[in-house]
Amino acid sequence: MSLSQHIPTESSEKVDEYGTHEKQLTHEVLEVDDWTAEDEVLAKRGLRRVDLSVIVTFAIVYMMSFLDRSNIGNANLTGFSTDLGLVGNQYGAAVSVVYSTYVFFEPTASVLVKIVTPKVMITFCTLAWAVITIGSAFIKNYDQLLAVRILLGIFEAGMIPTINLFLSMTYNRDEYVTRQIFIYFANCMSGAFGGLLAYGLSQIHASGLHGWQWMYLVEGLISICLVPLAWFMIPNEATQCRFLKPAERAAMEKRRIRNRRIYDERDKFTWGALLAAVKDFRVYFMCISQFGMLCTVYSLTTFMPSIVAGLGFTTRVQAQLLTVPVYVIAAVGFAIAGFFSDRYKIRSPFILASNICNLIGFIMLAASDRVGVRYAGCFIGCIGLYAGGTLNNMWCADNFGPHYKRALSMGMMQFIGNTAGAIIGFIFTTHTAPRYLKGLHFDVGMTCVSFLCTCTNALYARHMNKKKREMIAAGAPDDPSLGDKNPHYLWFM
């Protein structure tokens, strides 16, 4: 078996376009000319093994991660605020503070994933947040609540960057979202599962613990059980998956080499790559768009029980059950959008469709006094709840390269996007309950901003792809060292 490829050669030290003195690697066109039908079959079989082991593990771990940080919304319906003596907007501050930690720690984690390795990052984060969740069952006051929420945010911050970058390091661009459908479907279902679990556990009053304390204790113990699962199942790269057979492993290795135009595992850290991300204006449009879409996500996932309870036709505990079908709709909407986005290799139309659904739903919630209309608004708004932000994140992975530019770009998106979680508790304030009109109006405005930013990036991608095709027709070489500036690296729309 021979791989016909040009191996990068090291040239003399020079000053790159960003003013950085570094050894330059000359990457020439990479080709694999002995890829056979048998390799295709073996690689697909290998990918199925990776999907069934690694992707399923990611989905389970991420579901508990999301549940452990958002279950404060369900806890608040079962005497949580009263037991801790929360006053004013202290509950909203506790909601927001966990996301404020993401602002610094997610970009840092994005850059460190390849260095620390995905296995270590996910396992350590899971152990840490599980212990903190268990400890949350025994807090007594507002200060202790803030402390555990801050620690929870710090240790959960590495989860999303690690998963997203592992996908970009393993799969082709038109395979990213299909895998994320499964991972984020579990995220969607965590809202439904969390509502059912919270309803059941809130009925327990034993051993001197209240219902919300049992909820934190049980969910934390479940997360602890995931620690050995994460260590055993998650490899540092797909070719190291312990369930691959030798022939499948060899085919996966060849597949990785063929995909080096998009991801080259030999890329080394350089400050120039990080600077390239900071200087690319597309990142900022994506960041603003992500902020707007995550405003809607954090608004509904955190305050959905209170919003539903505020409709006026149910008790606060039963409101937990009425949130379940809403999250099911969110999961189905994301699955449909993600499947067709990968199939047709486009992102922006589905992001825009999600924005439109969010916009209609929030307008219905804000504008109508009728209970049925407002509850229907919850359903419509949730159709695009998860699809927009997730597709935007992977759109960034699609269109930015090389690796460290992609990593920082995605980290910056999470940095800006998650400030939505940091401020949302100060917009959906206690004194605006149960209608939360101030927060709903804010979400409507930010959804419109997201729509405009997405349109801008889509039109620019179309413009640049036209120029790149002209360059290819004129004989431009395929140079993977150029990253997303390579004429043969066409951007997804």
pLDDT in tens, 296-325: 888 877 666 666 766 665 555 566 667 778
pLDDT in tens, 459-491: 999 999 999 999 999 999 988 888 899 999 999
pLDDT in tens, 375-387: 888 889 888 888 8
Q: What is the pLDDT of residue 30?
A: 41
pLDDT in tens, 62-73: 888 888 777 787
CATH fold group of domain 36-240+255-262+278-485? Growth Hormone; Chain: A; (1.20.1250)
First to last CA, the chain: 37
pLDDT in tens, 177-225: 888 888 877 766 666 666 677 777 777 777 778 888 888 898 899 999 9
pTM to 2 decimal places:
0.74
Q: What is the pLDDT of residue 284?
A: 95
When mean pLDDT is compared across 115-124, 279-288, 299-308, 399-408, the lowest value belongs to 299-308
Using the predicted structure, report yes or no on whether residue 27 has a pLDDT greater than 70: no
